[in-house]
Amino acid sequence: MSHPHKKAGALPAFLLLALLGSLTGALFNANNLFASEVSESIPVDHDWNVINASIAQKKFSLAEKQIGNYIKFHPKNHRAYILGARIARKIHQPERGIAILDKGIDQYPDDKTFLRLKAELLMEQGNMSSSRKILGRLSKDPTLSHEEKEKVSEDRKTLEVLVLSAPPLETFDQNINFQEPIPPPFQSPSTYELENSEDHIHIQNIDIGYAGGSSIGTGITAETPLLKDTVHFQAGTNLYVGSASGQTGGIESYLFAGVDGQG
């Protein structure tokens, strides 16, 4: 029996690291940690000094936890949220950085730097659609500073490269619905749509063929790649359920009427 989940081809590790590196800039050491973002004078208090001591010792996981506690008692320290987000990225824990930034956004709802950093962490997490939405809104914000505009522009370029080059990590249900009469077996529609609770993506010039029963072959090129997604494929009155691997032209496995079928 075929496994219903098939992954798109993995991006070579060195290329993925290079792409993510373009988000963060040059790797930092303990002496210049996050200097590009935390450029203002550091507040002098014991807890903050403890955090910086942990960073100097390269105890980044400890520093991230210390910042989590620090912002509970210093919720208005703008720099603490930025530092926490940068440390979370350093230790490859984007979800922790997002949690810290969300608390910062609660305090500073329209902070452009927080929003951009969250978009970058979402990218690293693999949540390309949410990252794109944030960066899209920021790019249209007339109040965005020139410096932030440049950073947002670079992030959007990086996002497009990642979308085309590497499968994301997010999973969501998809519904594929033909936007024209269902063709006979072995013929393909020219247009269909992907739908979920957040996105409504229009795609053309794809190749989907089915032969009835449980056999469906796909060759999909989508703007947003799919990975480990459940696909509800409606062909006439038959509903096929299976998986999709975006940005590939491979054969997918679908489940129909309780029988695993290889298209």
Same domain for 35 and 59? yes
Residues 220 and 139 in one domain: no
Q: Domain ends where: 165, 186, 211?
A: 165
- Asked if residue 187 and residue 153 are part of one domain, the reply reads no
Q: Based on the fold, state whether residues 28 and 69 are members of the same structural domain.
A: yes
Quick one: 161 and 178 in the same domain? no
Mean pLDDT of 98-106: 96
Confidence check: pLDDT of 27 > 50: no
Q: Is the pLDDT of residue 64 over 70?
A: yes
Q: Does residue 7 belong to any structural domain of this protein? A: no
Residues 65 and 158 in one domain: yes
Mean pLDDT of the chain: 63
Assess if residue 190 is contained within a domain: yes
192-246 pLDDT, tens digit each = 444 443 443 333 333 444 444 443 444 333 333 333 344 444 444 444 444 443 3
Q: Give the pLDDT score at 209.
A: 45
Backbone angles phi, psi at 225, to 5 degrees: -70, 155
Establish if 42 belongs to a structural domain: yes
Clarify whether residues 29 and 124 are in a common domain: yes
Q: Are residues 125 and 186 in the same domain?
A: no
Phi-psi category of 72—alpha, beta or left, where left has phi over 0 and alpha has psi -120 to 50?
A: alpha
Using an 8 Å Cβ cutoff, are 211 and 198 in contact?
A: no
- Domain assignment of residue 77, yes or no: yes
Same domain, 159 and 186: no
Closest alpha carbon to 177 in 208, 217, 211: 208
Question: 104, 135, 165: which is the final residue of a domain?
Answer: 165
Beta strands 173-178 and 229-235 are parallel
Q: How confident is the model at residue 164 (pLDDT cuts 50, 70, 90)?
A: low
68 with 25, same domain: the answer is yes
Residues of the domain holding 92: 13-165
| pLDDT value at residue 9 | 38
What would the mean pLDDT of 26-53 be, rounded to a whole number?
58
Of the given ranges (73-77, 87-91, 126-130, 226-230), which has the lowest mean pLDDT? 226-230
Judge contact between 167 and 5, C-beta under 8 A.
no
In a domain, 5, yes or no: no
Count of CB atoms situated within 10 Å of the CB of 242: 24
Token pair, residue 5, equals 């989940």
For residue 125, tell me if it sits in a domain: yes
pLDDT at residue 102 greater than cutoff 60: yes
CA dihedral of residues 119, 121, 122, 123 (deg, nearest 10):
90
Is there a domain that residue 8 lies in?
A: no
pLDDT value, residue 207: 42
Q: Which whole number is the average pLDDT over 128-143?
A: 89
Q: Which of 165, 183, 207 is the last residue of a domain?
A: 165
How far, in Å, are 3, 30, 35, 188 from residue 56 at the CA level? 47, 5, 13, 60
Looking at the DSSP bridge assignments, the partners of residue 221 are none
pLDDT above 70 (res 52): yes
Q: Are residues 147 and 55 in the same domain?
A: yes
DSSP 160-212: HHHHHHS--S---EEEEEESSPPPPTT---SEEEEE-SS-EEEEES-EEEE-S
Give the full edge-to-edge strand order of the sheet including 253-256: 200-204, 191-195, 173-178, 229-235, 238-244, 253-256, 259-262
Position 2 in a domain: no
Q: Is the pLDDT of residue 19 over 80?
A: no
Give yes or no: residues 138 and 254 share one domain.
Answer: no
Q: Domain containing 23 — which CATH number?
A: 1.25.40.10
CB-CB contact of 187 with 244 (8 Å):
no
Confidence of residue 44 (pLDDT cuts 50, 70, 90): low
Per the structure, the count of domains in the chain is 2
